[in-house]
A and B are shown apart, each in its own frame.
Chain A
Amino acid sequence: MEDFVIAILRSGTPLIYVTLAGVIAQRAGIWHLGLEGLMIAGACATVLGIVLMQSIWLALLGAIMVCVLGSILFWFVVEKLKANQIIAGLGLTGLGLGGTALAVQSIFGTQAAVSAPFGLPRIGSAFGSFGSLSILVLIMPIIVLAMWFMLRRTRFGLRLAAAGEHPFAARSVGINPALMRLVALIISGVLCALAGAELAAGSLQIFAQNMTAGRGFMGFAAVIFGAGHPIGAALAALFFAIVGALGIRAQLTFGDRVPHDLLLALPYLATVLGIWLSTHLRGGTKAASGFGELRDQ
C-alpha cells in the first residue's frame, strides 16, 4: 500500500504542477495547449543544468527561466500577433518537443537519454519509505493551496478572472487584460518548470526525448475536468495519477493475460471518461464556451 501511495505521488506531482499551470492560464482566458512543450523544456533544462552546472539550484533556476521565456513568447504570439491560442499552444508544444531533442543532440551528439549524477533533494529518511520522494512532492500541497488562495481569495485573482472571462469588463475598471495574461502566463511557466523538474529529477535522474508523454495534455484535461478550480483540477490530476498507477499494478498482476497496450491506455481512457462525466454532471461545459477566443468590445 505504501508503495502504491508513493507511486501515485511520484507520477501525480508533475501532473499536478502542470495542471496548476493550466488552471492559472485558463483563469486568465488562455486555453494553454503549450503546457506539454513547456513541461518538457523544463525537464530538459533541469537535467542539462545539473550536468553542465553541477548544481540543482542553478538547474532549477535555468529551467524556470527557459519556461518563463517560452511563456512570454507564447503571450507575445497570442496577445500581440493575435494568433489563435490553440494553434499557438500546439506550436509551443512542438517547439518544446523538437527543441529539447535538438538541444540534447547538439550538446551530446546523440539522441540517447541523458542521465544526471544527482537530482532534486529528497525529503529525507525521517519520513521512512517516503523519504525518497523529492522536496517538490512535499511542497506540492502548499502550492495547490497557495494557488487556490491567490485565484479565489485575493483581488488579484478576481482581476485575473475578470480579464479572462470578460476583458472588456476588466478594461472598464482600469485593468489591463493583456498585462494580467502576461502575469498569469509567467506564473504558469514557473509551474511548468517545476513539473518538468520533478518529472526528470524527482525520482528518476534522466532526460529522455518525449518523456512527458502527453502529461501536458492530461494536465489540460484536468483543468477542464476540475472546472478551472485549482483544488478541483489538482484532484482531477490526482485521479488520473491513481488510474495510471492502477494500470501499472494491473500489468504486474495480470501479466500477459490482458493486452499490455490496453493497460497503458487506461489513464487516457480515464481522462476521456472523466471529461465526459464532468460535463454531464455540470450540464454542459461553461468552461468550454468561448473556447480559444478572447472577447473584447
Chain B
Amino acid sequence: MTKVSLPIFECRDVTVRYGHILALSNVGAVFERGVIHAVVGQNGAGKTTFARVLAGLVRPASGQIKIDGRPLAGGNVKDARRSGVELVHQSFALPPSFTVAEAMQFGAQGGRFFTKANLEKRWQPHLDALDVKVSARQRIRDLPVETQQGVEIARALVSDAKLLILDEPTAVLAPEGVEKLFDRVRRLKERGVTVILILHKIREVLAIADTVTVLRGGKLVDGPLPCNGIDANRLAELIIGPAVARNLKPEDKAALTGAAVISHAEQHADIHAAPVLKMRAVSTRADPEGPALDGITLDIRPGEIIGVAGVEGNGQKTLVRAISALTDVVNGEISIDGTNVTRAPLAARRASGLRIIPFERNVEGLSMTSSLWENWSARNLLQIPLLSTISPSAIRRQCDTALKQWDVRYSDVSQRAGSLSGGNAQKVILSREMDEDARLILAAQPTRGLDICATSFVWESMRNARARGCGLLFISSDLDEILDISDRIIVMLSGRIVAEFRPPYDLAAVGAAMTGMLR
C-alpha cells in the first residue's frame, strides 16, 4: 500500500530556548492531513510554544519545519500564514476597541481602503457561513468569551487556512461551549481543514481528536498516536510522567488530566459549627472588573472548602473583592467568624483571620520588584502601628525559615520575587496567607498556570488548611479540580449564585448551571 497524501506538516529536532530555559527540545513529529490532532501536556510542557513555533511567532533555535513539504522560514508569521497556518490564541488576540468587521479586516488580504458599510458587507457573510452568531458591527470588548472565540476562529479563516491551530480553546469555555466548539471543529474538518487542538484534558481529547501527541517538560513523549483504542489511564501516565504519577492520589491524577470525573464524597465540615464566613443578601455595584453581586447569601463553615464554579466574568472577582473590602457593599451583610465586617476595612478583616490568594499572583499577590522577605513580611507589617520600628535582619531570618518550610526554591531571601518561577512565587504567597491565624482563605485561581507538582502542592496546602479548621473559598475555571477538592460547589452566573451542589457531583449538571441551562 502506498500513502496517497503528503503529511500536512512535519517538524524535526525543533528546539526553542527562552533565555536559559529550554521550552522545547528536539521535538519531531509528522501530522497527517485532514484530521483532528490533539496535542496534550501539563502547564510548562511546551504546548503553547509548540503552537507558536508552527505559527511563526517563535523562532526555534534549531530544527526544521515543513508545511505541505515546503520548509518554513522560522519565526516568520507572514510565511507561516502564506503556507496556510493560522493560530487561535488562548487569550484571544483581538484588539478590544475594534469592531468585529475591523478585526477580520486588519489581518486580511485586499481591501486596502474601505467604508464601514463595505467592511460589514464583506465580513458578515463570512461570519454567517461559519455560524458565528454576531453582528460585524459589534465591538470585540462587548462580546462574551464564546463569541470572541468564534470571531477569532473566523479571523483565522479569513485566508484559505489549511492548518488551524487552537491553543487551549476549551480553557475559557463552559462544558456546553466546549460541545459547540467541537461541532465547529468537526465541520472545519469536513471542509478539509487540518486542525491541531492544544488541550489538557484527556476527556476532551477522546471526545474530539483523531490522534494525540503528548508533550512533557518540553519533550515529545509520544505521538501522534491514533485515538481509537487508547487507554485513558495510560494517557494520563504519559502526560504526568511515571515519577510524579507514583506520588499522586488516583483522584488527583484524574483531576489533573481530566481523565475521569472525580467526585469525593467525604464531608469534612461540622455542619453545626458557626460559619467563618457569613454573607447575607450581599449586593454591590457593577464595575469594570465584572458584574455586580446580586443578593449573595453564603455560609462557609470551619473545615470546609467551597468551590466556586462559573464561566469567568460572572462575578467571581467581585465576590472576592467584596469579601476583601475592595468594593463597596450596597446591601446585605458580611461577617467573618461572627463579627460583622460589612463596613470594616481590609486591615480589620485580615486581623479577624481573612487571607487572600489573589487572582493575579504577579500583580496583586507579589511585588515582583521587591525582595522575597519584603513580600513575605507584608502581612505582618500591616498589623503593626505605622511608626513602629522593624528589624529587617530578624524578618529575613523568619522569612528564611518559613519559606524553607513551604519548600520554596530560592537562593537568597533578598532576591526579587520576579525571579521566581510561577510555582515558587505561588508558594511564597501560600506561606504568607496560610498561616496559623488564618480563618477564612480566599483562593482565587491558585493553580492557574502552575505545573503538576506545584498544582498538587497547592491542593495539599488547601486540604491541610481545611484540616486545621479554616474555611476556604476556592475559585477556579477548571471544573475538574473544583470537583476534586470542594466539599460543596456553588455556581455563579451574572453575579448571582444560581446553584449549589453537594457530593457526589454531576459534572454535566454543574456545567449546565454555569450557562444557566439547569433544568
Contact = CB atoms under 8 A, between A and B. Distances in A.
A135 B87 CA distance: 50
A161 B288 CA distance: 22
Given A153-B113, A153-B115, A158 B102 contact: yes
B106 A158 contact: yes
Residue in B93, B105, B115, B288 whose Cβ sees the most chain A Cβ within 10 Å: B93
Contact of B112 (A155, A170, A171, A286): A155
A162 to B, nearest CB: 5
Interface string B9-35: 000000000000000000000000000
Interface string B95-119: 1111000100111100111110000
Contacts of B114: 153-155
Contact of A284 (B87, B102, B288): B288
Nearest to A168: B93
B334 to A, nearest CB: 27
A126 interface: no
Chain A interface, >50% SS class: helix
Given A154-B113, A169-B95, A162 B77 contact: no
B78 interface: yes
Interface in A167-201: 168-175
A148 to B, nearest CB: 13
Nearest to A284: B288
B67 interface: no
A230 B111 CA distance: 22
A82 B321 CA distance: 34
A156 B102 CA distance: 12
Given A173-B81, A173-B107, A174-B77, A162 B57 contact: no
Interface residues of A, number: 22
A172 B112 contact: no
Nearest to A169: B93
B98 A162 contact: yes
A32 interface: no
A165 interface: yes
B94 interface: yes
B98 A173 contact: no
B55 interface: yes
Q: Which of A162, A168, A173, A286 has the largest number of chain B CB atoms within 10 A?
A: A173
B292 to A, nearest CB: 15
A166 interface: yes
Contacts of A10: none
B89 interface: yes
Given A154-B113, A174-B77, A162 B89 contact: no
Nearest to A158: B106
B78 A174 contact: yes
A165 B96 contact: yes
Interface string B70-100: 0000001110010000010101011111100
A161 B77 contact: no
A169 B87 CA distance: 11
Nearest to A159: B106
A172 B87 contact: yes
B57 A171 contact: yes
Contact of B97 (A149, A153, A286, A297): A286
B89 A155 contact: no
A159 B89 CA distance: 18
A155 B105 contact: yes
Given A153-B114, A172-B89, A173-B77, A162 B95 contact: yes
B483 to A, nearest CB: 31
A154 B57 CA distance: 25
A155 B119 CA distance: 11
A152 to B, nearest CB: 9
Nearest to A287: B97
A165 B77 contact: no
B55 to A, nearest CB: 7
Contact of B96 (A156, A158, A166): A166
B106 A166 contact: no
Contact of B93 (A156, A161, A166, A174): A166
Interface in A241-297: 284, 286, 297
Interface of B: 55-57, 76-78, 81, 87, 89, 91, 93-98, 102, 105-108, 111-115, 288
The 4 closest A-B pairs by CB, nearest first: A173-B107, A169-B93, A174-B77, A158-B106
15 contacts: A155-B105, A155-B108, A156-B112, A158-B105, A158-B106, A161-B106, A162-B95, A169-B95, A172-B55, A172-B77, A172-B89, A172-B107, A173-B107, A286-B97, A297-B91
Interface of A: 149, 153-156, 158-159, 161-162, 165-166, 168-175, 284, 286, 297
Given A155-B112, A155-B114, A172-B77, 10 more contacts: A153-B113, A154-B112, A155-B113, A161-B95, A169-B93, A171-B57, A174-B81, A175-B106, A175-B107, A284-B288
